[in-house]
Structure 1
Amino acid sequence: MQTAQAQAGMNQSTAVTQQLLNMTDQVNPWGTVDYTQNGSTSYVDSNGNRVTVPTFTQTTTFTPEQQAIFDKTQGAQTNLAGIAQEQSQRVAETLSDPFEFTNQDAADWAYDLAQTRIAPQQEKNEAALRTKLINSGLRPGTAAWNSEMERMTQSFNDQNNQLALTGRAQAFSEDLATRNQPLNELTALLSGSQVSNPAQMSSATPQTSVGGVDYAGMVQDQYAQKLASHNAMMGGLFGLAGQGAGAAIGRWG
């Protein structure tokens, strides 16, 4: 028990020394880091003794230029956080209405596009085909005429159907993007609202390692040495006693 108590006291001294050596004040182009003792705290160890250890405060101080940058950055992030809070209310209103998409709206959009872009071109193509057929000697109502016109009509229908399918996909994508835009803006605002210190001020303080005293080991070694010495001494005494007894037996013999 005495050995354990002594070892615990030495370990405590080593820990306190290690802490004091590791608290190195820093001075760099971005500011300073200082350590000051602010008091002490205590606890009851395993032996019922109250142990008191010092407590410290780490203070980081920026240079005036870095402090100004930090203040402005923090102010900007505060503004972003406020905007994000306001935007979140709008997002809640948007999400309260379920997302709706109708094929008819997409079809109407595609039809309007066709009337302004594709329909005029189709009319030109039809007029060109009619002129070509007449110049080839074909007349309306003949089988060859009807076959060519049917082929042209089918081509126009395929073109309109392709436009409708493409228009539906594009209209759906645009509607979904419009609905998601407030969410994307809110996410962007929240990602830029965290406050952080300059990376240069977060460099690790050099650490000093002080080896603890192996008091219990030394006590054990001392005990082993004494035990070995005692055994050697007892062995020598028993040897002398044995020699004396042998000499006496010789005389009596």
Structure 2
Amino acid sequence: MCAPDPPAPPDPKETSAASTATNVGTAIANANLGNVNQVTPDGNLTYSQTGTYKWNDPYTGKSYDIPTYTATQTLSQTGQAIKDQTDQAQLNLGKLANSQSAFLNDFLSKPVDLSNDATEARLMDLGMKRLQPALDARRASNEADLINRGIRPGSDAYAQAQNLENQGENDAYNQLLLSGRGQAVQEALAQNSAPINNLTALLSGSQVSQPNFVNANMPTIPTTDVAGLINTNYNQKLQNWQQQAQSSSDLFGGLFGLGANVIKYSDRRVKTNVRRVGEFANGLAKYAFEYVWGGGEQIGVMADEVRAFRPHAVINVG
């Protein structure tokens, strides 16, 4: 019997193919675990496999069928009716925004005039609308008070009172011009921005609503380290072979070291009470026996079996 041959190392491509196949299978299983159909009062979310595509491993050249999925969301009857109405309203707002954009094209071509003359003109216009009615009411009240006190128009006292009234109104307008400039500028800018803000509001109201999906609990399956298992198995086989090879080397090294006498004494003809008791690691039978001249029980091999295994290890003497 001969010593066993060393184990063949794993083929890299076969190892890679096995590992890739495991990874692909695990990924597909995880994808299926994540495709959780959902049923809610507002609608349903359903996953379905709608096909496959071929993926080729660039290293091994093997092809894998990868499934493709489609997620379908359906609304309840009431929810669908609301969505239809909302979609129509948003479409109307979009159309209105489109028509307003044509107006803005002309409106924005005219810049806002923030010069002193334009600002003061706006303030005076504001004063005539808001301040002047209050001043007129105050003047009428003061004139009635003068008459009630016997001060008639045309008198010096009446003229003096009117001068004071005119001076007060003039001071009020001066105060408006001095302190109201910032407000006038803000109102001008606000007036200029109003059409833009209206258009922005219309556009934001006409945006398409995106469906909301629930984040499902998705457990994952860990990937098996196939390449590691293959290499571990190979290393174990290699260690076993190395141990067997070492045992065989030790056995025959001992035989060679003992020389011709031991080889001669391994002949069956000089042994009695021979019985097989086991086997060495290299496959040679192990025997218990006694020499015909005595000396007690011995453990060893038979020369004829050693010759069949390694012819040069046996020497014929005498």
Q: TM-score by structure 2 length?
A: 0.60
Counterpart AA for 2:61 = G
CA pair 11-238 structure 1, distance change in 2 beyond 3 A: same
Say which is worse superposed, 46-55 or 216-225, in terms of deviation. 46-55
Within 2, Cα distance between the matches of 1:156 and 1:35? 78
Counterpart AA for 2:238 = L
- How far is 1:44 from its partner? 2.6
- How far is 1:160 from its partner? 3.8
Matched, 1:229 2:240: yes
Within 1, Cα distance between the matches of 2:221 and 2:131? 83
Counterpart AA for 1:196 = S
CA pair 110-74 structure 1, distance change in 2 beyond 3 A: closer
Within 2, Cα distance between the matches of 1:37 and 1:17? 13
Q: How does 1:103-252 map onto structure 2 within 5 Å?
A: 103-106=119-122, 108-109=124-125, 112=128, 115-118=132-135, 121=138, 124=142, 159-197=172-210, 199=212, 202-241=213-252
- 1:7–1:216: 8 Å Cα contact kept in structure 2? yes
- How far is 1:233 from its partner? 2.8
- 2:119–2:184: 8 Å Cα contact kept in structure 1? no
- 1:106–1:164: 8 Å Cα contact kept in structure 2? no
Within 2, Cα distance between the matches of 1:99 and 1:156? 30
Within 1, Cα distance between the matches of 2:169 and 2:81? 67
- 1:106–1:168: 8 Å Cα contact kept in structure 2? no
- 1:110–1:167: 8 Å Cα contact kept in structure 2? no
- 1:31–1:61: 8 Å Cα contact kept in structure 2? yes
Counterpart AA for 1:236 = S
- How far is 1:174 from its partner? 2.1
- 1:109-164 per-residue CA deviation (whole Å, 9 max, x = no partner) reads 36636554347758959x99xx9xxxxxxx99xxxxxxxxxx99988765442222
- 1:80-103 per-residue CA deviation (whole Å, 9 max, x = no partner) reads 111111122222221011111413
CA pair 233-67 structure 1, distance change in 2 beyond 3 A: same
> Residue 212 of structure 1 aligns to a residue in which SS?
coil
Q: Which has the higher contact order (CA 8 A, sep 6+)?
A: 1
- 1:30–1:63: 8 Å Cα contact kept in structure 2? yes
Within 1, Cα distance between the matches of 2:101 and 2:216? 41
Q: How does 1:71-82 map onto structure 2 within 5 Å?
A: 71-82=84-95
Within 2, Cα distance between the matches of 1:45 and 1:170? 71
- 1:22-60 per-residue CA deviation (whole Å, 9 max, x = no partner) reads 222221211222222322221332133333222222211
Counterpart AA for 2:134 = R
Counterpart AA for 1:208 = P
Unaligned runs of 5+ in 2: 1-12, 150-155, 158-163, 263-318
CA pair 38-156 structure 1, distance change in 2 beyond 3 A: closer
The structure with more radius of gyration: 2
Q: CA RMSD in A?
A: 3.5
Hey, what does 1:86 align to over in structure 2? Answer: 99
Within 1, Cα distance between the matches of 2:124 and 2:257? 129
CA pair 96-216 structure 1, distance change in 2 beyond 3 A: same
Aligned-pair identity in percent equals: 33
CA pair 119-73 structure 1, distance change in 2 beyond 3 A: closer
Count of residues paired in the alignment: 229
- 1:232-252 per-residue CA deviation (whole Å, 9 max, x = no partner) reads 33343444455556666xx9x
Q: TM-score by structure 1 length?
A: 0.74
